[in-house]
Structure 1
Amino acid sequence: MSTDQHALSDVLDQLESSADGDSVTVAEIVEKLGHKSFAALMLIFSLVSTSPASAIPGLTATVAVIVFILVVQMIVGRKCVWLPGFITHRRLSTQKLCKGIGWLRKPVHFVERFLKARYTFLLHRPWLLLPLILILGLTLFMPFMEVIPTSGSIASAVIAFFAAGLLTRDGVLVVLSLVLLAAVPVAVWYFGF
């Protein structure tokens, strides 16, 4: 089993080790995961928004803003993560964060068994630009999804699959994220009406 297959669990471990005290700032999470870890940061915030922690008011909108900023930087080819102060100073409850991480471990371990480096050409330009642009568009709608139960979590799951594909060098996950992305409007329509 290649180390890439453990990449998702490694990110959860890193995040859990940053959870110290009553709360943790976004800046501390970025510091722990590394300033070049676009995919890891995208994965963490989208997973948190997919977990039961998504019930926190404003979390889906915050995740949308973070992912939007990360994707723009990936499109323009920036090497280091930059996030504005109003995001980096935001605090997350350590208890809720750890609860979310605990909830995510089982599905992450299950998914990791099927991951491997394949169709890696999809992770390079120009192929990578299509999913990046589509996810950028998705983030613009996510703040409005807060009013429709579970729709924000579905959108976050799409981003999580894409980020997991980047982290594990698995092009199949990237394609799967695009298939799920096509299902988001259907899910929003179904749950909204």
Structure 2
Amino acid sequence: MNRKDVHLPHDDLTVDRKLSVVLRDLRDSPLECVSLNLLITSLGYRSFVPLLVIFALPNLFLFVPGSSVITGPPLIFVAMQLVLGRTAVWLPDFLGKRSIEHQAFARILTRALPWIEWVERLVHPRYWILSRRAADLTVGLACLVMSVFMFLPIPFGNTVPALSVIMMALSLSERDGLWLLGGFALSFASFAFVAGLFAAGAFAMMRFF
């Protein structure tokens, strides 16, 4: 990793561009390296989406033991900022200044962009009635609760909350009401599952004593 950072002109950045367009511009730019801070600045309001997805994704796979211990705290950190109404994700300097050489970044994006564009074709603006602040607050709170659930040591309890976070993050990016409803449905299912576990545990303890 290289720590040298380069900044793009702020005038070239818009919050309404698709994620694939922003990433393609970064890939085709003459930068020497790309830092997390630069990526967040380039994505603007959309910087929440890739970070929520990146931190939730490992929890979808049951063959990654202990992933929630690593990804849970940063996921909570990002979701809390969304609840608080920040326009972009803030990272501490020791994380934000970390950078990767542009050549390596371009190789990664060349492979990732077809998948990102495929998802973007599935998620698109429809049935969206929330204002930006209302969407940030509701999605942020739901993602915060789900990230706490993922952090709890519940056997096989990470997959559904992680999927709900990913669906809600993507819905927020493209203002897709159907994906938002799907994400909330999974959130309610996760909440019912965790509440049922705690209720069963409390009932068992009451019977024991």
Q: TM-score range by the shorter chain?
A: 0.5 to 0.7
Corresponding residue of 2:35: 28
- Aligned equivalent of 2:120, options 105, 112, 137: 112
Question: What is the rounded CA distance, in whole Å, between the counterparts of 1:62 and 1:10 in structure 2?
Answer: 30
2:173 pairs with one of 159, 167, 177: 167
Aligned to 2:81: 73
1:178 to partner: Cα distance? 0.6
Instruction: Kindly report which structure 2 residues correspond to 1:88-127, keeping only aligned pairs within 5 A, or say none.
Output: 88=96, 106=115, 108-126=116-134
Q: Name the counterpart of 1:136.
A: 144
How many residue pairs align between the two structures?
175
The 2-side partners of 1:10 and 1:36 are apart by: 10
Q: Tell me by how many angstroms 1:158 deviates.
A: 1.6
Q: 1:125 to 1:10 in 2, by over 3 A?
A: same
- The code of the aligned residue for 2:38 comes to E
Task: State the AA in 2 paired with 1:117.
Answer: P
Specify the alignment match of 1:7 in structure 2.
18
Deviation by residue 1:133-162 (Cα, 9 ceiling, x = unmatched): 1221111222225x635x434322222211
Q: Does 1:37 align with 2:48?
A: no
Shift >6 Å, 4+ stretches: 14-17, 89-92, 186-190
Q: Which of 85, 90, 95 is equivalent to 1:82?
A: 90
Structure (1 or 2) with the larger CA radius of gyration: 2
Cα gap change, 1:30 to 1:158, in 2 (>3 Å): farther
Q: Distance in 2 between matches of 1:12 and 1:52?
A: 24
Amino acid at match of 2:142: L
Distance in 1, Cα, partners of 2:51 & 2:190: 20
- The code of the aligned residue for 2:44 comes to S
Instruction: State the SS of the aligned residue for 2:133.
Output: coil
Cα–Cα, structure 1 residues 28 and 181, in superposed 2: closer, same or farther, change >3 Å? same
Deviates further, 55-64 or 113-122: 55-64
Give percent identity, aligned residues only: 21
SS at match of 2:90: coil
SS at the partner of 2:149? Answer: helix
Over the residues paired in the alignment, what is the CA RMSD in angstroms?
Answer: 4.7
What is the TM-score when the length of structure 2 is the normalising length?
0.56
Q: Which of 176, 181, 191 is matched with 2:187 structurally?
A: 181
